Amino acid sequence: MSSVAQKKSFGATLWDWLTTVDHKKIGILYFLGGGFFFVIGGIEAMLIRWQLHKPDNDFVSAGLYNDLITMHGTTMIFLAAMPLLFGFMNAIVPLQIGARDVAFPFLNSLGFWMFFFGGLFLNISWFIGEVPDAGWTSYASLSLASQGHGIDFYAIGLQIAGGGTLMAGINFLVTIINMRAPGMTYMRMPLFTWTTFVASAMILFAFPPLTIGLFLLTFDRMFGGNFFNHEMGGNTIIWEHIFWIFGHPEVYILILPAFGIFSEIFSIFSRKRLFGYPSMVFATVLIGFLGFMVWAHHMFTVGLGPTANAIFAVATMAIAVPTGVKIFNWLLTIWGGSITVTTPMLYALGFIPSFVMGGVTGVMQGAAPLDYQLHDSYFIVAHFHYVIVGGVVLAILAATHLYWPKMFGTMLNEALGKVTFWFFFIGFHMTFLIQHWLGFWGMPRRVWKFMPNQGWDMANLISTIGAFFMAIGVIVLVYNVIITSIKNVKVANDPWGDGRTLEWAIESPPLYYNFAQTPLVRGLDSVWIEKMEGNASGLTPAEPVKDIHMPNGSIIPLLMSLGLFIAGFGAMFRTETEWGLGVLIFGLVFTFIAMAARSLQDDTGYYIKKEEILRDLKRKGGQN
Amino acid sequence: MMKGLKKWRLFSLLAVLTVFLAGCGQEELSTLLPAGQVGRDQFNLLILSSVIMLVVIIVVVTIYVIALVRFRRSKLGEDFIPEQVEGSHKLELVWTVLPILLILLLAVPTVYYTYKLGDVAAMGEVDEDGNPENLIVDVTAKLYWWEFEYPDLGIVTAQELVVPMDEKVYFNLIAADVKHSFWIPAVGGKLDTNVDNVNKFYLVFDKDSNDIKNGDGVFYGKCAELCGPSHALMDFKVKTMPRPEFDQWVTSMQATGEKQIVANEQGEEVFNQSCIACHAVSAVGGSNEKQGPNLATFGDRNRVAGFMDHDKESLIDWIKDTQKHKPGNKMPSFGEQLSDQELDVLAEYLMGLSVEQ
């Protein structure tokens, strides 16, 4: 357990990663897992765009096309965007609040492995050849009518992955409430921590409806239930409500951490305190709250009646107010600052116009009667890609550059970073701007092919070309990651030079116990305050050097998730094979045994001796 | 000379592109060229919201550009430490209150139009003689085609909706298998056809579909909700006409119950052997009487299967291999059962089914 780097065998390294409960390593695992699925989702997107680059194209079949759009949406939301954000939350939030780990390290690891096995389960459908094909929303009448096991993969895969997400959310809530360093009051928490906090609270309330909905769907499909079967007294509209009661908060769960990341970036690269910090916090909480009040705006055309539509229309528009507050606060943060355009800042600057564009089209669709035209047309496709790519994905790319040194101890190449940005940014607008007009011109979404002579040919071609620009941007990023990792030039604590929060006052990457001494926090932007007052280290310790309690690694989370993964196949093939029921029982028993092993074994962790910490401190010249 | 020509080409390409980008789409299916009161209300709301949102965008972009130009570190020097401003209550109040006002400006017409367009109270009304005041059409969406029944007129048709102009036409919408969504972009917004319940709304058609520039005499209708592999091909067409013409059409539709002169008698025989189980050629009746679309107006239609060219070759192609053209649809492919000669006479017969002559 020494912090001094030793040459380990491959097996030992692998074992270390499979059993780790260290939030920094789990952050990297999330980042790798999410990155992998991001590439898969991206390939699916390219196939979709290629199919639509010309009218009446037969590049993919109708069935395969529906597989692609379903898996693209599901993968990007659940298996790419969420895990990538969780990666950054794991890697950074404990550091930002001066903690040595999250509140429940074991649960943290379990959350990751459940996401990973859930994602794997979903994607194994490609090899079996029965892929989810009812859209990422899987509306009940179509998902019940869908042949083969596609929707079963969707229901069980998301159930497993969703369980992991729920655990991660609870973990971050408890961590942020309980593990803050002395002096880190709520109103001194960095914005990324705040947005993680609110997003986690939203996960806590939004994911249970998804869990319930997926269970009902699973029962309908695999065990003869009739929750959504209207011929047997069920109701398909209930699925739509349940899905969107989860689904709308879900998009805020994605965008809030993105807001947090950009708040950090604007502040760092303008060398200026975030403008209107209390109103930023208030706006975040308000968005989180309102996020649960507007789900029916996804259902304006379902026929809920004018009263329901009017109420949800006005509620939807109301969200523009706190979001607007945020935009202006960011603008006033860079106003009067000292702006330096690094790669992360470039993404943040690109984010403002992109997201404003996505925001205003959102308000337009909030106007219910207008939405009768825009709903399920290409306009909505343009809108949600403007907020999710223009907001969330730009934030993920920005954070990749910003936090790379903190996570891996080396800097991504800035020039290549800017090349990635420009390809991605131009490609993004080229792909999606024109799609607003495609919607106006009457093109419905989720269409496998379109006939010529409807005035859509050129616009679709432009859109496809844009998609290739985005792909080039991502390829350059991958190249950047590879050459950076090969060169591996080590950097200091604060490679950007203007770090303001605690993570920038410790090593890159931090030692496994993060802080030799828990820091004392004296205000917002703690490190900036210390540095301005002449404390070059940026940290004031709140305790003497003493033994540190750490948790032991464990393979049990992986085994528990593996059991659920196996049980999933059993449930799916239960009726048509002899082994199905056996496998279902085996998988569940496997998980229960793993759980029992965890409960019966008294794992109290271990202590890092004071001497070891002092030795580390000495090596670093007395600094944290 | 060559260089000038190239430049000229580039310029004209750009010009075309600009016109294209700012374009309004095609009359038969663009929401930007509304052909009815509902679509026009929605279009007005689009313009209002776009103007408000444009104001927001302009304000944001102005502040953004000025800040970006003025406050660069390259100008201010490496060592410049900006004042750590905490915030400004006055400013924050301004950008909370102003957006609220803008939103109110949009919210009021939104609520007004929501109720206006949702008002179907007049649907069941009858005049003194007990005749219905308004035309009602029952729409049933099926994998991947549309059935249109006129319950008060006792007729039914499929794939091509025929409606009179300049009056409110009320719709009852339902789906027979999975959820679909009924959308005529140029005329007004969509409403879902659920499997659980009947949805009601109205549309007004005030442009003659024969007057569409460069068009084929119909407005385009679409399915807007993912409903399976051939969702993309679940198109229908809409013919609009003045009321007298419509009444005439109704009369000829009601007459299809009687024996008609057929275009090809051999074809009729083939039809009676192979097709009649699922398709009717009389428009008299209601929804769901036959499994497949009603073919009484087949010869008048604009497309085969909703999206293929309306000619004999396409029709034969379609009947031979329906699954290739519309994967997952409920009509079997007849390439094996019917000989080329049978297909040929059948096509001729079908093309002769017409009420519009």
Domains of chain A, each with CATH number or no CATH: 10-554+603-619 (1.20.210.10)
Residue A69 token pair = 């759009």
Contacts with B, A 376-415, CB within 8 Å: 376-377
Contact B189 A372 (CB under 8 A): yes
Pick from A302, A329, A369: CB nearest B114: A369
User: Cβ contacts (< 8 Å) between A306 and chain B: which residues?
Assistant: 114-115, 117-119
Dihedral sign for Cα atoms in the order A313, A315, A318, A319: negative
CA distance B277 to chain A (A): 25
CA-to-CA separations, A559 to A457, A590, B325, in angstroms, rounded: 51, 8, 48
Q: What is the pLDDT of residue B124?
A: 83
Provide the ipTM.
Answer: 0.92
Spatial CB neighbours of B267, under 8 Å, sequence gap ≥ 6: B345, B346, B347, B348, B349, B350, B352
For residues A243-248, average pLDDT: 97
Dihedral sign for Cα atoms in the order A406, A407, A408, A412: negative
Phi, psi of B213 (to 5 degrees): -65, 135
Contact A273 B72 (CB under 8 A): no
A287 and A514 in contact (C-beta within 8 Å)? Answer: no
Contact A272 B85 (CB under 8 A): yes
Query: What is the residue-level pLDDT of chain B in tens, covering all 357 positions?
Result: 445 555 565 666 555 555 544 578 899 999 999 999 999 999 999 999 999 999 999 999 999 999 999 999 998 888 899 999 998 999 999 999 999 999 999 999 999 999 999 999 999 888 888 888 999 999 999 999 999 999 999 999 999 999 999 999 999 999 999 999 999 999 999 999 999 999 999 999 999 999 998 888 999 999 999 999 999 999 999 999 999 999 999 999 999 988 778 888 999 999 999 999 999 999 998 888 899 999 999 999 999 999 999 999 999 999 999 999 999 999 999 999 999 999 999 999 999 999 886
A368 touches chain B (CB under 8 A): yes
Q: B276-296, pLDDT tens digit by residue?
A: 999 999 999 888 889 999 999
Mutate to test the interface with A, among B55, B75, B95, B212 (most CBs of A within 10 A): B95
Residue matched to tokens 């070759």: B313
Beta-strand relationship, B145-150 and B155-158: antiparallel
A300 and B181 in contact (C-beta within 8 Å)? Answer: no
User: Cβ contacts (< 8 Å) between B50 and chain A: which residues?
Assistant: 364
Pick from B31, B76, B115: CB nearest A442: B31
Q: How far apart are CA A306 and CA A297, in angstroms?
A: 12
Q: What is the pLDDT of residue A575?
A: 86
pLDDT higher than 90, residue A296: yes
Q: In residues, how long is chain A?
A: 624
Contact B226 A364 (CB under 8 A): no
Q: A271-292, pLDDT tens digit by residue?
A: 999 999 999 999 999 999 999 9
Contact A277 B20 (CB under 8 A): no
Contact B92 A364 (CB under 8 A): no
* Residue in chain B lying closest to A228 (CA): B196
Contact A363 B53 (CB under 8 A): yes
pLDDT higher than 90, residue A423: yes
How many CB atoms lie under 10 A from the CB of residue A574?
18
pLDDT higher than 90, residue A582: yes
Contact B31 A369 (CB under 8 A): no
CA distance A112 to chain B (A): 32
CA distance A230 to chain B (A): 6
Contact A442 B30 (CB under 8 A): yes
Tally C-beta pairs within 8 A across A and B. 297
Contact A62 B327 (CB under 8 A): yes
Pick from A230, A318, A446: CB nearest B231: A446
Instruction: Give A3's pLDDT tier (boundaries 50, 70, 90).
Output: very low
* Residue in chain A lying closest to B74 (CA): A340
CA distance B10 to chain A (A): 16
Residue A167 token pair = 């655990």
Q: How far apart are CA B41 and CA B187, in angstroms?
A: 10
Contact A375 B26 (CB under 8 A): no
Q: How far apart are CA A118 and CA A154, in angstroms?
A: 9
* Residue in chain A lying closest to B69 (CA): A339
Contact A301 B229 (CB under 8 A): no
Dihedral sign for Cα atoms in the order A297, A303, A308, A310: positive
SS3 state at A548? strand
A303 touches chain B (CB under 8 A): yes
Instruction: Give A1's pLDDT tier (boundaries 50, 70, 90).
Output: very low
pLDDT higher than 90, residue A338: yes
Domain ranges of chain B: 259-351
Contact A62 B328 (CB under 8 A): yes
* Residue in chain B lying closest to A446 (CA): B226
For residues A378-401, average pLDDT: 97
pLDDT higher than 50, residue A295: yes
A138 touches chain B (CB under 8 A): no
Residue matched to tokens 């009858």: B126
Q: What is the pLDDT of residue A2?
A: 43
A52 and A119 in contact (C-beta within 8 Å)? Answer: no
Phi, psi of A238 (to 5 degrees): -60, -40
Closest CA to A159 of A93, A237, A221: A221
Out of 3.30.420.40, 3.40.50.720, 3.40.190.10, 2.60.40.420, select the CATH number for domain B259-351.
2.60.40.420
With pLDDT > 70 as the criterion, what percentage of chain A qualifies?
A: 98
pLDDT higher than 60, residue A624: no
